[in-house]
Each structure stands twice: as structure tokens, then as C-alpha cells.
């Protein structure tokens, strides 16, 4: 059986765009899927508990049948490490997930994405409070620009909810504390884990914690009929998509730079805002648009810095000029194509691969949005006429 390293090596023939777009796709679909289910039936704690229970079973199966979780053997897991690090971090992870799903009951997907842009601010505050980092003035000013943009977006929100705002703020700060705790309790001792191995250890304790939360908050009004209202296959698919997001994260590691990931994260957020407008007719005010634009620019600068942005810009510009001039794109090291080796033809070029993958994922994404719009009755009349009305 192939090791994880060998499996990743065999996948290197695929363009990095495949992994990036897969991550964007599963991340976006998970968010839209959760919003769709929670808007119709509610019970966010129970849904989160179901996701984590599914992840617990799936990681146990993968650990025994594949090499995807072989990285766990490099983790020196003892009873002391488990109760001193895994349990508290798992509790924080559970709290973050519960808050992040609760917010779907109060705020639109678009506004949630805008609020998430303030995550670097939470990480900065928490890391400074725990003495992990001592940020420079330049970083602080950068984050203040992001906060200013998010504040403007919040001020322009029409359907603002303080409950939803505090839930989202809680989710962001719980996640920030979790990341800092990982840095203090695990990374400092050399216990580095990829997303799937982390889920292998965290999912069981998170399932137990979410079950307790669900028992207190939702079991009193929950009925078995609610499961059948949503559909067993729908819930199974929802949990599978959420789990595949973690799998896609594993294969994405090392495939691209931090700058590209920052830009892809911004692209994903913009796609989700557009999807929210199309599916749920979310209204975006001019001041929201302006504020979120400021926050996104601040995020890109925070993740890449001026030098990184200019390097990416110049590289892209040079590559585009070579494509337009009809010459093959040259790799600076190999001298024979962007990916090395012999000059690439049109169908073999990484640009063509990227365009094809973007077109494929965009088509699937639009079909998904169209299906949800028709199902929820928010589709334009011409779509209803073409596809017919779908009864709930």
C-alpha cells in the first residue's frame, strides 16, 4: 500500500489549480449546504454534532484502510498530551463550530463572510495576550484597516442582528484561541499535525462536547421527524462534503504559496457573497460594498505583503505577455515551459488546465446554486418555467 508521501508524489502530475479549486469548491459548498439546512430546519448544534460523528467514523475507517492518516504515527500521543492539549483544543474547536453554525440562523451568508474578514484581528489580540507574538506597528495598522472595513460593512448591513453578530464574534475568537493553543501546546513540542490527523484526534472529543450542547439547547424541541424532513441522504451528503473539505486541505498542503491561498480565500469569499445574493436575494448596500472592499484589500496585503503582491503581479504579467506574443511560457529554472521539460502546447499548458478547471468548477457551482434557488422558490420566473416548480 502506498504511503501518504508516495500518494502525494503520484498526484504531482495534476496542476496545483486542481487542489486549490477543489478546496474552494468544498469550502463554498459546505457553507451553502449548512445555510440551506439550517434555514429550513434549524438545530445547528445537532448538525455540528452529526458532522463530527461522521468525521470520527470516517477517520477511523481511513486510518485502518488507507495511508492518508499515517501521519498520526509521527505524533507522540500520550495520555498527558491528550488531556493537556487535545481535550482543551477540542473544546475550543467545538465552541467555534457551534457558534459558526448558530450564526446562520440570524445573519446572511454574505454578511457572515464580511465579518470573517476580521479573523486576523482576533488572532492578533489573542496571540499578544498570551505572549506568543509582539506585532510591529505596520502589522497593527494593517489590521486596523481590516477592522475599519468590517465596521463599515456592519454599519451598512440592513438585516443586522446583535445575537448573530455576537455568535460570529464568539466563533472567530474561539478559533483564534484554538490556533494560539495549538502553537503553544502542540507545535512548541514538535507535535505537528495535518488537518486530517487533527480531525482524527479532535473529532471524538468534539462530538461528545457538541452532544452535551445539543442536549441542553436543542433536544427539548428536536423530533425524529425533523431528520426525515431534511432527508437522510441529504444529511449524509452534507456530512460527506464537510469531511471532503478536510481531505482536500491535506492534499493542498505544499502545493501552492501562502499568497495564492490568500487570494483564493478572498475569491471564495466573493463567490459566497455572490451566491448569497443569487440564492437568498441578500441586499448589499453601497457602504457594505465599500467597507468589504477595504477589508479584502487589507486581507490580501496582510497575507502577502507589498513585495509578495508585486512579485506575483510581475510574474503573472510576464507570463501573460509571453502567451499573447505566441511564445511558450518559460520556467526561469528549466527554460522550457512553466512546468519544466519540453515546451508545452496549448492543450498541455498550465494556463489551459487552469481555465478548464475553473470552467468545470464554475459550472458545478452554478448548477448547485440554481438547484437551491429552484428548491427554495427564489429562482427567477424564467428558471422556474424551464425547470418547473420543485415541491418541498
**CB contact at 8 A, 309 and 259:** yes
Look up the pTM and report it. Answer: 0.75
What is the arithmetic mean of pLDDT over 171-196?
82
Query: Which pLDDT does position 263 carry in this prediction?
Result: 73
What is the arithmetic mean of pLDDT over 71-88?
86
Query: Which pLDDT does position 148 carry in this prediction?
Result: 94
Collapse the DSSP code of 75 into the 3-class scheme (helix H, G, I; strand E, B; otherwise coil) and give the result: coil
Within 10 A of 224 (CB to CB), how many other CB atoms are there?
7
Query: Which of 18-27, 101-110, 280-289, 330-339 has the lowest average pLDDT?
Result: 330-339
Query: Which of 82-96, 135-149, 271-285 has the lowest average pLDDT?
Result: 271-285
Q: Which residue has better confidence, 42 or 44?
A: 44
d(CA 183, CA 210): 24
**CB contact at 8 A, 318 and 324:** no
As a whole number of Å, the CA-based R_g of the chain is 22
What is the arithmetic mean of pLDDT over 21-42?
88
Query: Which pLDDT does position 87 carry in this prediction?
Result: 92
- Which residues lie closer than 8 Å to 370 by C-beta, 6 or more apart? 379, 383, 387
d(CA 99, CA 356): 37
Q: How confident is the model at residue 392 (pLDDT cuts 50, 70, 90)?
A: very low
* Set of cell numbers at residue 345: 502546447
Which residue, 211, 198, 194, is CA-closest to 53?
Answer: 211
Query: Is the predicted pLDDT of residue 97 greater than 80, yes or no?
Result: yes
Query: Which pLDDT does position 331 carry in this prediction?
Result: 45
Helices (H), 117-223: 119-129, 137-155, 162-181, 195-217
**CB contact at 8 A, 135 and 74:** no
Q: How confident is the model at residue 46 (pLDDT cuts 50, 70, 90)?
A: very high
Q: How confident is the model at residue 256 (pLDDT cuts 50, 70, 90)?
A: low
Choose the most confident range, by mean pLDDT, from 177-186, 246-255, 355-364: 177-186
Amino acid at each position: 500500500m502506498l504511503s501518504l508521501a508516495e500518494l502525494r508524489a503520484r498526484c504531482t502530475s495534476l496542476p496545483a489549480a486542481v487542489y486549490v479549486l477543489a478546496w474552494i469548491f468544498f469550502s463554498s459548498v459546505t457553507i451553502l449546504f449548512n445555510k440551506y439546512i439550517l434555514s429550513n430546519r434549524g438545530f445547528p448544534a445537532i448538525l455540528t454534532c452529526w458532522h463530527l460523528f461522521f468525521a470520527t467514523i470516517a477517520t477511523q475507517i481511513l486510518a485502518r484502510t488507507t495511508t492518508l492518516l499515517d501521519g498520526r504515527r509521527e505524533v507522540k500521543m500520550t495520555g498527558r498530551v491528550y488531556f493537556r492539549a487535545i481535550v482543551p483544543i477540542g473544546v475550543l474547536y467545538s465552541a467555534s463550530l457551534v457558534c459558526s453554525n448558530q450564526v446562520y440562523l440570524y445573519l446572511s451568508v454574505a454578511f457572515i463572510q464580511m465579518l470573517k474578514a476580521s479573523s486576523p484581528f482576533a488572532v492578533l489580540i489573542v496571540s499578544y495576550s498570551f505572549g506568543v507574538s509582539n506585532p510591529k506597528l505596520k502589522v497593527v495598522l494593517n489590521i486596523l484597516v481590516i477592522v475599519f472595513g468590517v465596521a463599515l460593512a456592519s454599519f451598512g448591513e440592513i438585516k443586522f442582528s446583535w445575537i448573530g453578530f455576537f455568535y460570529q464574534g464568539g466563533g472567530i475568537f474561539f478559533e483564534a484561541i484554538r490556533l494560539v493553543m495549538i502553537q503553544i501546546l502542540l507545535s512548541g513540542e514538535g507535535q505537528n499535525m495535518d488537518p486530517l490527523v487533527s480531525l482524527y484526534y479532535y473529532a471524538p472529543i468534539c462530538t461528545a462536547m457538541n452532544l452535551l450542547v445539543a442536549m441542553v439547547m436543542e433536544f427539548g424541541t428536536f423530533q425524529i421527524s425533523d431528520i426525515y424532513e431534511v432527508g437522510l441522504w441529504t444529511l449524509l451528503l452534507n456530512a460527506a462534503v464537510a469531511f471532503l473539505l478536510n481531505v482536500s486541505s491535506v492534499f493542498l498542503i505544499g502545493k501552492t504559496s501562502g499568497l495564492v491561498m490568500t487570494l483564493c480565500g478572498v475569491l471564495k469569499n466573493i463567490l459566497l457573497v455572490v451566491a448569497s445574493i443569487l440564492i437568498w436575494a441578500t441586499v448589499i448596500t453601497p457602504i457594505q460594498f465599500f467597507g468589504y472592499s477595504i477589508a479584502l484589500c487589507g486581507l490580501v496585503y496582510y497575507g502577502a505583503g507589498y513585495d509578495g503582491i508585486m512579485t506575483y503581479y510581475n510574474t503573472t504579467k510576464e507570463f501573460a505577455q509571453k502567451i499573447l506574443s505566441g511564445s511558450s511560457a518559460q520556467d526561469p529554472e528549466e527554460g522550457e515551459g512553466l512546468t519544466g521539460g519540453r515546451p508545452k502546447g496549448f492543450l498541455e499548458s498550465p494556463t489551459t488546465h487552469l481555465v478548464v478547471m475553473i470552467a468545470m468548477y464554475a459550472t458545478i457551482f452554478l448548477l448547485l446554486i440554481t438547484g437551491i434557488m429552484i428548491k427554495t422558490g427564489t429562482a427567477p420566473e424564467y428558471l422556474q418555467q424551464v425547470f418547473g416548480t420543485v415541491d418541498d
